[in-house]
Structure formats: structure tokens, C-alpha cells
């Protein structure tokens, strides 16, 4: 059975071995190239998603900045309204001080007789009538 193997020259065996090895290497290279194409496609897809995420992140940062600016403006406006209201209250208290004093004098002054006539005379006196 090994006799027919001896009929083939050694260089032919060597050549056959090289063909088999070269074919195996070519198959391996072909498989690796297919894997590389798949990985490149996946990488490109991932890069596209990453770019979209970065763009979205940038947009969100801009929106957050705008919202913070709007909140700061609203806070400043609220503070101004508060200061104006406090100032208006102080002014109203100062303007009403004379009326409060007159009312207090009316309550403290009690004249004899009818209370309505007494109140009328005190009010007339305050008004200078």
C-alpha cells in the first residue's frame, strides 16, 4: 500500500504540502478579512451613535445653560419685585402714620354725650373744618 506513495517524487509531495498550506492560509486570510469588514461596519455604526450622542449632549448642555440663565433672570426679577414691594410698604406706612395718629387720638379722646357727635366734632377738628 505504501508502494504507490513511493511512485510520487518527493518534490511533488513537497509541492502538494505547500498547496495545502497556502490554501489553508488563504482561507484563513479570507475569514479574517470578512471579520475585519464586520468589525469595521460595527465600528462605523458605533462611531455614528457616539457622534449622535455627543451632539445630543452638546445640545442638552446648551439648553441647560439657557435654562440656568432664565432661572437667574427670574430670581433677579423676583428679588426686584420683593424690594419694590417692601419699599411700597414702607412708604405706605409712612403716609398712613398721620392717619394712625389721628385715629388713636379719636379713640383716646372721649367727650361726654353722644359718641357720634363726639366723633364728628373730632373728625371736623382734624380736618380743620
Per-residue pLDDT tens for 34-76? Answer: 999 999 988 888 888 888 899 999 999 999 999 999 999 999 9
| pLDDT attached to residue 43 | 87
| Three-state SS annotation for the chain | CCHHHHHCCHHHHHHHHHHHHHHHHHHHHHHHHHHHHHHHHHHHHHHHHHHHHHHHHHHHHHHHHHHHHHHHHHHHHHHHHHHHHHHHHHHHHHHHHHHHHHHHHHHHCCCCCCHHHHHHHHHHHHHCC
| pLDDT attached to residue 96 | 84
| pLDDT attached to residue 36 | 93
- Domain coordinates in residue numbering, the chain: 35-127
Task: Give percent of the chain with pLDDT exceeding 70.
Answer: 87
Amino acid at each position: 500500500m505504501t508502494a504507490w506513495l513511493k511512485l510520487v517524487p518527493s518534490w511533488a509531495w513537497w509541492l502538494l504540502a505547500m498547496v495545502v498550506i497556502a490554501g489553508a492560509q488563504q482561507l484563513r486570510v479570507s475569514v479574517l478579512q470578512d471579520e475585519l469588514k464586520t468589525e469595521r461596519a460595527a465600528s462605523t455604526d458605533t462611531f455614528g451613535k457616539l457622534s449622535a450622542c455627543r451632539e445630543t449632549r452638546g445640545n442638552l448642555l446648551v439648553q441647560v445653560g439657557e435654562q440656568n440663565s432664565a432661572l437667574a433672570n427670574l430670581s433677579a426679577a423676583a428679588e426686584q419685585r420683593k424690594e419694590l414691594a417692601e419699599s411700597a410698604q414702607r412708604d405706605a406706612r409712612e403716609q398712613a402714620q398721620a392717619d394712625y395718629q389721628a385715629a388713636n387720638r379719636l379713640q383716646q379722646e372721649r367727650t361726654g354725650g353722644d359718641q357720634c357727635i363726639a366723633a364728628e366734632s373730632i373728625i371736623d377738628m382734624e380736618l380743620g373744618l
